Amino acid sequence: YSCLKLRDHVYVQYSIFLYLTYFCVFVYLCICVFVYLCICVFVYLCICVFVYLCICVFVYLCICVSVYLCICVFVYLSSC
């Protein structure tokens, strides 16, 4: 009887240990995935914002330069 009781006790302890181990691994994986996703999203957003700003600045400069050149040409021709 005592052997069975001891065996049951050891089995319960082992089960608790296994559950705790699985829980820890699960929490660890969750944290890892969360951190990985955060980093990915952050990098993705940074790249997107950078590209967007570059395109905006490029388009803005193109428009500005073309308008400026048009005005210059118009003024030059009208002075002629």
Calculate the average pLDDT of the chain. 87
Name the residue type at position 31: I
The pLDDT score that the predictor gives to residue 2 is: 60
Query: Would you say residue 80 has pLDDT above 90?
Result: no
pLDDT-based confidence at residue 33 (cuts at 50, 70, 90): very high
- The greatest distance separating any two alpha carbons of the chain, rounded to the nearest whole angstrom, comes to 117
Q: State which H helix or E strand residue 25 sits in.
A: helix 2-79
Q: Residue 6 has what pLDDT?
A: 66
Instruction: Report in angstroms the alpha-carbon separations of 13 from 1, 5, 8, 22.
Output: 18, 12, 9, 14
CA 71, CA 73: separation in Å to the nearest integer?
A: 5
Taking 90 as the threshold, does the pLDDT of residue 76 lie above it? no
Range of the domain at 56: 1-80
Least confident of 3-7, 25-29, 33-37, 75-79: 3-7
Q: How far, rounded to the nearest angstrom, does the alpha carbon of residue 43 sit from its chain's CA centroid?
A: 5
pLDDT at position 1 = 53
Spatial distance between the Cα atoms of 18 and 27, rounded to a whole number of angstroms: 14
Mean pLDDT, rounded, for 19-43: 93
State the total domains in the chain.
Answer: 1
